[in-house]
Structure formats: structure tokens, C-alpha cells
Amino acid sequence: MRYSLALFTLPVALVAATPVGKRCTGTISSLDDVAAAEKCTTININAFTVPAGKTFAISALDGATINLVGDVKFGVANWAGPLFSVTGNNLIFNGNGHTFDGQGASYWDGQGGNGVLNSPAHVYSVSNPAKLVMSKLTIDNSAGDKPNSKSGGKAAGHNTDGFDVSTNDLTIENSTIYNQDDCIAINKGSNIIFQGNTCSGGHGISIGSVSTDATVKDIQILNNNVVDSDQALRIKTKSDATNASVATVTYKGNTATGIKRFGVIVDQSYPSTLGTPGNNVVISGITFGAGNNIAVTSGAQRVAVDCGSKCTGTWDWSGLKVTGGTAGKIDNYKNIKAGSY
């Protein structure tokens, strides 16, 4: 299931269940068909174009199956979105190899959400109310690597985060993300697994940026491959954040090559990089299990840590090996054990 650049919300649980509702098949070929199709336990989405400035929103019956049976294109408009939204419990969504095309190239100006245009920037915003597994997705924003007439010679795509996560009980696996920003950004939540994915061309795998009152805990980053990205693995907390924490993050079996800035970075000065850190976010239990191998380019730093006063406990990094580049600074924290970097 391949999704082009768009802004999606997915407050759903994609697991099989017994459908509750009318056993019929509803077909959507335009937004006018949605209300009738939502009453059925099977929904087929044909190829059509969603009018500019409109959300394609499905509120499905619990246990329904949604099948994409044609490519869906979204008209271009400068608006907040989202382009596509699905709500419901225990849903099955089958992409069947078809495409959601957000026509991102029409918006890209090299600045993304920070620019003049209110463009479709981030792809998936995940805030599911129940256990959710997202598997075998392809997010292909590779065309955004090239400049266009609006981007001043820079890559046209920007703020094209693959997954922005603020939820619990989420697994994202076996997916491929080509973009120009975070492959995944875990902003808050617990019991999150990111495994078997490939991240190419962006900012790598990120915890954060962590804001005031946010808790991130029990995170597993497993067996991923990060290629040609600014960072491989990053934890970033906002310098002005309070009453927040990052705890029990485990990295295991991850590989990275062609990393341009930092192999691993823990930075409490965001949005600065290695600036003056904040002192009100607790970071604890950052562990590198077996098999994390990262290769950085000659101008990159292997590892950099910029802690405030609340990095705590012993961090076991015995399973981390970073090669190439230069050694970065580890500031204000002395309890990182083992590792080769």
C-alpha cells in the first residue's frame, strides 16, 4: 500500500473482528457516496479525485473492511487538511497496491510547514484509541529531494515526517519511508514498537521533540535500516519543556549508512542543536542492545549528548558501534556504559 505525500489522520485499530452492522458492500466513487457506504460492513473505494479543500472522511462500522480498489487523488488547495481520515474500531484496511496521491509537489517550497504555504507536509498523524498495527506501507516523497522554482535551490520537500506519533500500543513495521524529515517522530506515548523499517533521505528515527507534560516510555526501535539521513537515531526534548520524561527506550539490531550529521544524538536544547539544554525533562533507561551498527560520513559526529540536569540512571550502550566521522561531545552526563564510538 503506497501513500504519496498527504496529511492523514488514523484514529483506528486495524485488526480483524466480527463486523457489527449491515452486511452489505458500499462503493465510494465520490464524496457523495460516503454516507451510504458507511452503513455497510465492506467498503470499496474506487478511483476518483477528491475536490480541493475537502476531507475524504470515513466513519466506519466497528469491524468493517475497507478496500482500496483504485487510485485516489486529492485536489490542490492551501488549507489545513487532513486530506483523508478514517475512524472506527477493529477495522481492516486493504490498500491492494493502489495509491493515495496528495500531489505534494504542488505545495513544496523547501520550507514545508514552516513556509508561506499551508502545504501537506506530514504524512501520518497517529492518535489511535486502541491497539494499532501499521504494516507494509511505502511513503514515497523522494521527488521532494529535488529543488523546484519555489525552494531557492534547496530540496523542495520539507517537514515531510513519515509518522508523527502521540499514542499508546502502536506497532509500525516492515515499511519504507523516503522523505526529507523525521522517518518517525514519537512525541508522546507508551508501548510503541518501530521494527523492520527502512528510512531513507530524511532525519532518521526520532524520539520527540518532547514538549511540556509529555511522557514517552517503553519504546522499542528494532531491526531498522537508516540510509543517507542526517541522523540515524535521535532523542530531542524542547529546551523549555517542563513536567516531561523519556524512559525505557531500547534500540536493537538497527543499521545505518551514509549518515551526514550525527550517528546518535541526545539533545535537550531543541529546537537548537547542541545549544543550551533545558533542565526539566527526565531522560532515563536509554539502552542499546545487540547489533546496532552505524556508519557516518567524514563530516559527521559519531555520538553527541547534550543533557540538562535530569539525565539519570545508567545507560547501557554495549550494543552500539558507530564508525567514521569524528567523536562528538558528551556534555553533563557520565553514566553511559560501554559501546564503541
Q: pLDDT (tens digit, 9 = 90+) per residue, 52-98?
A: 999 999 999 988 999 989 988 888 887 877 888 888 888 888 877 77
- Range list of β-strands (E), 163-254: 163-173, 176-178, 184-195, 198-200, 205-210, 215-222, 225-227, 231-238, 244-252
Please check whether residues 221 and 119 belong to one and the same domain: no
176 assigned to some structural domain: no
Q: Which domain holds residue 246?
A: 182-341
Q: Which residue has the higher pLDDT, 15 or 165?
A: 165
Burial class (CB in 10 A: 0-12, 13-18, 19+), 332: middle
Residues 116 and 259 occupy one common structural domain: no
Q: Is residue 154 part of a domain?
A: no
Q: Are 227 and 202 within 8 A, CB to CB? A: no
Q: Is residue 76 part of a domain?
A: yes
Query: In CATH, what number is assigned to the domain containing residue 333?
Result: 2.160.20.10
Task: Identify whether residues 85 and 210 lie together within a single domain.
Answer: no
Is 203 among the residues known to form the active site?
yes
Whether residue 101 is found in the same domain as residue 186: no
d(CA 120, CA 4): 10
Among candidate residues 98, 122, 158, 203, the one labeled active-site is 203
Domain count, the chain: 2
Q: Are residues 112 and 188 in the same domain?
A: no
**What does pLDDT average to over the chain?**
85
Same domain, 193 and 337: yes
Q: How far apart are the first and last CA of the chain?
A: 38
268 φ, ψ (degrees, to nearest 5):
-100, 20
What distance in Å separates the CA atoms of residue 11 and residue 111, rounded to the nearest whole number?
A: 27
Same domain, 88 and 212: no
Residue recorded with cell 549518515? 259
Least confident of 143-152, 193-202, 325-334: 143-152
| Model confidence pTM above 0.85 | no
Do 193 and 109 reside in the same domain of the chain? Answer: no
Last residue in a domain, options 70, 96, 131 = 131
